[in-house]
Amino acid sequence: MSNSASQKKERTLAEPFRIKMVEPLKMTTEAYREEKLKEAGYNTFLLQAEDVYVDFLTDSGTGAMSDTQWAGMMLGDESYAGAKSWNKLEKVVKDLTSMPYVLPTHQGRAAERILYGILGGTGKVFISNTHFDTTRANIEFTGATAIDIVEEHDENDHENMSFRGNIDLIKLVQLIEKCGPENVAAVIMTVTNNSSGGQPVSMANMKSAREICNRYGLLMVIDGCRIAENSYFVKHKEPGYGRHTCKSIAQEMLALGDAFIMSAKKDGMVNMGGLLTLRDEELSRKCINMLIISEGFTTYGGLSGRDMEALAIGLVEVFDEGYLHYRIKSTAFLGEGLKAKGIPVVWPIGGHAVYIDAGKLFPNIPVDQYPGHVLACALYTKGGIRCVEVGSVMFGKHDKDGKLIPAKRELVRLAIPRRVYTQSHIEYVLDVFDDILEMQNETKGYKIVYEPPFLRHFTARFEQL
Ligand SMILES: *Cc1c(COP(=O)(O)O)cnc(C)c1O
């Protein structure tokens, strides 16, 4: 009995929501998609969204709002100052962060520009587990330096799998000593660690980083746009947290920070929005000045009343344990399914995305023919799936002879929008990979025929070799 019970197939991972409104998708043929991709210069960023069936380009601002959020949109108070919707948002954010100063912004990078514009400047150093690209750009724009020190792991070390987004505490101390604490503008903890595969940060790591900041009198900023997803990992992987709610874990973690920056387009469960919250009164005054100059008055920042209403609701919904379970498990379902097929995925699977090592998937395609790009193009033509290359197209540089200096790895990211695709969409994606596996002996890639001087992946054009 018990034996047969234990052999029972695991139940299908079913969505903790049902569908009340549908957005029809255009069904296209492979021939049609080949034509469209060619017209787009083989750059998936240049495709029209309506020609995409499953859009895994990003999880940022692409989620679906709930019926409660949509109902909240109708209650949005559009008063210039002191709107009800603002009071509601401020209350939710204060409860979450325990920080007294809350500044609404139109998205995450606006909060970054304000805070790092004030803290940064030539000679200043920011240290992070990993700076997200807009974070780095906003810091470097002030003339300051951004240094990443994510804890390094052996890829095959399956012992120490759980928190691969952690900051390297030994390097943190060494760097502070080397740069001089007076030059360190802030320590930035990105949770989950987006640029390192959406990997979580443990509470223990955050506490130790806090202690180090205390020791040297440094400011600790939590870049926490996926704080709810991170809390799920803490609950399920860090000893002692199994009985805590994800919300209380987030509260405990955010209580450790001096400032919190959030792109609400992720775990805020809205399509646009951002937050900057602070503990220090003087710093908050400086930030509020910048907010008023560039975003808007303190009680709306860059947002309309209805946006604030939807965000206040989204920040509660995201901590629903059933939702978070489904969210993390459905990302893992895709990653584990790919691994089972023999697709080389970055392991363990993070919270919001699955990363595929296209260099390993297509060993016969040289890096200067962009194996990641080959995969991104094939996923579109074979299945109408859009994703993003994060390999040598995005990060490659040229030496003085014009030869490619490749990225560390030829990765492709499948980022999963929140509450948008169903389990059968995910299974469809897995099916498309059967066609991808048939291309493993492929030897021909792409060459770049046009590239702009900066951020070339957005607008470059390619030709098939
Ligand atoms: C998305 C993101 C940002 C920037 O937020 P935007 O809303 O896109 O401006 C900053 N940090 C991290 C970790 C992010 O993922």
- Distance CA(348)–CA(346), nearest Å, equals 6
Residue 406, exposed/middle/buried by CB under 10 A (0-12, 13-18, 19+)? middle
Q: How much is the pLDDT for 4?
A: 55
Residue range 121-139: mean pLDDT, rounded: 95
Confidence class for position 41, pLDDT limits 50, 70, 90: very high
Q: Which residue reads 């990105």 in tokens? A: 190
**Torsions phi, psi for 65 (to 5 deg):** -85, 160
Residue range 311-328: mean pLDDT, rounded: 97
- For residue 59, the CA-to-ligand 1 centroid distance in Å is 10
Residue 256, exposed/middle/buried by CB under 10 A (0-12, 13-18, 19+)? middle
Residue range 44-57: mean pLDDT, rounded: 97
Q: Hey, which residues does 447 pair with through a beta bridge?
A: 463
**Ligand 1 contact, 134 CB (< 6 A):** yes
**Ligand 1 contact, 272 CB (< 6 A):** no
Residue range 147-155: mean pLDDT, rounded: 88
Q: What is the DSSP string of 371-393?
A: HHHHHHHHHHHHH-EE-EEESHH
Residue range 236-251: mean pLDDT, rounded: 97
Q: How much is the pLDDT for 162?
A: 87
Which atom of ligand 1 lies at the shortest distance from residue 195's CA?
13
- Distance CA(127)–CA(21), nearest Å, equals 44
Exposure string of 211-220, with b = 16+ CB inside 10 Å and e = fewer, is: ebbeebebbb
DSSP E strands in 250-340: the ranges are: 259-263, 274-278
- Residue 398's alpha-carbon distances to 114, 368, 392, 401, in angstroms, are 33, 11, 10, 8
Q: How do beta strands 411-415 and 184-190 pair?
A: unpaired
User: Is 2 a residue whose pLDDT tops 60?
Assistant: no
Q: How much is the pLDDT for 1?
A: 47
The answer to whether 411 and 371 are in contact (CB under 8 A) is no
Helices (H) and strands (E) in the chain, counts: 18, 16
- Distance CA(68)–CA(137), nearest Å, equals 36
Side chain identity at 114, as an amino acid letter? Answer: I
Of 1.10.1530.10, 2.115.10.20, 3.20.20.480, 3.90.1150.10, the CATH number of 12-59+320-464 is 3.90.1150.10
User: Could you tell me the sign of the dihedral formed by the alpha carbons of 88, 91, 92, 94, in that order?
Assistant: positive
- For residue 113, the CA-to-ligand 1 centroid distance in Å is 12
Fold (CATH) for 67-317: Aspartate Aminotransferase; domain 2 (3.40.640)
User: Is 267 a residue whose pLDDT tops 70?
Assistant: yes
Q: Which residue reads 């520009």 in tokens? A: 113
Q: What is the DSSP string of 95-117?
A: HHH--SEEEEESSHHHHHHHHHH
- For residue 367, the CA-to-ligand 1 centroid distance in Å is 29
Domain borders along the chain are 12-59+320-464, 67-317
Residue range 422-429: mean pLDDT, rounded: 96
User: Is 7 a residue whose pLDDT tops 80?
Assistant: no
**Ligand 1 contact, 116 CB (< 6 A):** no
- For residue 190, the CA-to-ligand 1 centroid distance in Å is 10
Q: 199: how many CB neighbours lie within 10 A of its CB?
A: 29
Q: How many residues does the chain have?
A: 465
**Ligand 1 contact, 263 CB (< 6 A):** yes
Exposure string of 102-112, with b = 16+ CB inside 10 Å and e = fewer, is: bbbbbbbbbbb
The answer to whether 260 and 287 are in contact (CB under 8 A) is no
> What would the pLDDT profile of 74-108 be if each residue is shown by its tens digit?
999 999 999 999 999 999 999 999 999 999 999 99
- Distance CA(162)–CA(166), nearest Å, equals 10
Which atom of ligand 1 lies at the shortest distance from residue 265's CA?
7
Q: How much is the pLDDT for 198?
A: 87
Q: Which of 320, 324, 308, 321 is nearest to 92 (CA)?
A: 308
Tell me if residue 119 falls in helix, strand or coil: helix
> What would the pLDDT profile of 166-215 be if each residue is shown by its tens digit?
999 999 999 999 999 999 999 999 999 887 778 999 999 999 999 999 99
- For residue 115, the CA-to-ligand 1 centroid distance in Å is 14
**Ligand 1 contact, 225 CB (< 6 A):** yes
